[in-house]
Chains A and B, each alone.
Chain A
Amino acid sequence: MIYFQLFLSFLQIGLFSFGGGYAAMPLIQEQVTELHSWLSMSEFTDLITISQMTPGPIAVNSATFVGIKIAGVPGALLATFGCILPSCVIVTLIAKLYLKYRNMSLLQGVLNSLRPAVVAMIASAGISILITAFWGSETAISLSGTDWIMVALFGLAVVLIQKVQMNPILVMTLMGVAKAVLYVVGI
């Protein structure tokens, strides 16, 4: 049963994520933290962090990670298979049609309207991640409960990425080290 659920969840992630990069993130979050409690929000954020630092698409990385945690290596295989199956069918079909007709305008048109929606979805998922980072959980947002060190690290990271144009992986590593050092010196 759990195998079937894993397969089905990642099938939906594979089927409804358009546009690459972070586009799959909101779908993964919904499936693994909201619809099923396979990961806590904090574990989910760790997963995104790990995905950033290793090669491979977020969806495939998540399928492997969640699959192993929930149902071992067979679970990981099934989840990964689920997440690539829609691609296999749809891309092969489109490639076949393309090699025959060579007309892509309808597909591009649909993607043009999906792109702004994908940005909105990523923004919304990003907000959930920040809420977890700043307050620990989505239910306890209050000024006094704010983790100001995390807010400061976030602000610093934004400046390093946007203004200094530093490599994002390097920035994430620096923030991790900084947090650990602050902890050790007792702040």
Chain B
Amino acid sequence: MENKKQVLIKLFFSTLYLSAFTFGGGYVIVTLMKKKFVDQYHWIDEDEMLDLVAIAQSAPGAIAVNGAIVVGYKLAGLVGAITAITATILPPFVIISLISFVYTAVRDNVIVSQVLAGMQAGVGAVIASVVFEMGRGIYHGKNPMSILILIGAFIACTAGVSVIYVVIVCGLIGLIRTCFHNKKEAHS
């Protein structure tokens, strides 16, 4: 493996590139990370990468950010994590900063506001489709507890319960379920 400085420079620019040109969310970016760091650079082996992706997905926060931290940390410790995360947030930070200045300036233009309104209908449809796909996956999982959580959480959110409490309660349910399940497995 190359020396640490070279690794850091390569890590910085490859994460920067991935972050700047990946549309479509965290799941896409971790796939591209795998291609880059496993298939191209051979820095991480395939099985370990799968576990790193699992960590990125199970920890709170954006998957792209988590993926950058976990890969950076694995390759070069804390310095690696900081390098990768800086490269990951730099492109969206710059792009959104520029857009928000333009947005404030053109928002009140009548044509722009019509376009934005039409896009609201579009983004509503995108979200509806995301919910449909994810909900279908859970329904087909045929786990009564999961379906119960889905319904309960929906009622709670719509009734105005803070989403933070919903996350905490459902996380605790998961913790208890897993401990219970592990114990049962250990017995049998």
Is A20 touching B62 in the complex (CB atoms < 8 A)?
Answer: yes
Measured between C-beta atoms, what is the minimum distance from A172 to chain B in Å? 3
| Cross-chain contact of A49 among B27, B58, B63, B116 (Cβ < 8 A) | B116
A1 close to B (CB within 8 Å): no
Residues of chain A from 165 to 187 with CB closer than 8 A to chain B in the complex: 168-169, 171-180, 182-184
**Which of B123, B127, B130, B132 has the most chain A CB atoms inside 10 A of its CB?**
B123
Is A91 touching B120 in the complex (CB atoms < 8 A)?
Answer: no
| Cross-chain contact of B99 among A42, A54, A104, A121 (Cβ < 8 A) | A54
Measured between C-beta atoms, what is the minimum distance from B80 to chain A in Å? 11
A18 contacts which chain B residues (CB < 8 A)? Answer: 58-60, 167, 171
Per the bound structure, the CA–CA distance linking A9 and B50 in Å amounts to 32
- A176-B119 contact, Cβ under 8 Å, with A84-B61, A108-B58, A154-B125: yes
- A102-124 contact mask (Cβ, 8 Å, vs B): 1 or 0: 10111111111111111111111
Contact size range, A: 35 or more
B26 contacts which chain A residues (CB < 8 A)? Answer: 20-21, 57
**Which of B52, B95, B116 has the most chain A CB atoms inside 10 A of its CB?**
B116
Per the bound structure, the CA–CA distance linking A21 and B117 in Å amounts to 23
Is B163 touching A172 in the complex (CB atoms < 8 A)?
Answer: no
A90 close to B (CB within 8 Å): yes
Measured between C-beta atoms, what is the minimum distance from B150 to chain A in Å? 4
Is A117 touching B58 in the complex (CB atoms < 8 A)?
Answer: no
**Which of A76, A87, A150, A175 has the most chain B CB atoms inside 10 A of its CB?**
A87
Which residue on B lies nearest to A99, using beta carbons?
A: B74
Per the bound structure, the CA–CA distance linking A49 and B26 in Å amounts to 17
- A151-163 contact mask (Cβ, 8 Å, vs B): 1 or 0: 1011001101110
B89 close to A (CB within 8 Å): yes
- A71-86 contact mask (Cβ, 8 Å, vs B): 1 or 0: 0010010001001101
- A52-70 contact mask (Cβ, 8 Å, vs B): 1 or 0: 1111111111001100110
- A111-B130 contact, Cβ under 8 Å, with A150-B120, A154-B124, A175-B122: no
B9 contacts which chain A residues (CB < 8 A)? Answer: none
Is A110 touching B73 in the complex (CB atoms < 8 A)?
Answer: no
Determine chain B's interface SS by DSSP, over half rule: helix
Measured between C-beta atoms, what is the minimum distance from B91 to chain A in Å? 6
B131 contacts which chain A residues (CB < 8 A)? Answer: 119, 122-123, 126
A24 close to B (CB within 8 Å): yes
Which residue on A lies nearest to B158, using beta carbons?
A: A124
- A69-B104 contact, Cβ under 8 Å, with A90-B59, A122-B127: yes
Per the bound structure, the CA–CA distance linking A107 and B178 in Å amounts to 9
Measured between C-beta atoms, what is the minimum distance from B75 to chain A in Å? 11
Is A17 touching B119 in the complex (CB atoms < 8 A)?
Answer: no
Is A20 touching B57 in the complex (CB atoms < 8 A)?
Answer: yes
Which residue on A lies nearest to B130, using beta carbons?
A: A22
Per the bound structure, the CA–CA distance linking A18 and B69 in Å amounts to 16
A109 contacts which chain B residues (CB < 8 A)? Answer: 174-175, 177-178, 181
Is B162 touching A30 in the complex (CB atoms < 8 A)?
Answer: yes
Per the bound structure, the CA–CA distance linking A111 and B57 in Å amounts to 9
Is B135 touching A161 in the complex (CB atoms < 8 A)?
Answer: no
Some 12 contacts from A to B, beta carbons below 8 A apart, are A16-B163, A21-B25, A95-B52, A105-B182, A107-B58, A109-B181, A120-B150, A158-B128, A158-B129, A175-B125, A179-B115, A179-B117
| Known contacts A80-B89, A84-B89, then 6 further A-B pairs from the complex at CB < 8 Å, ordered by chain A residue | A20-B26, A94-B70, A126-B124, A126-B128, A173-B119, A183-B110
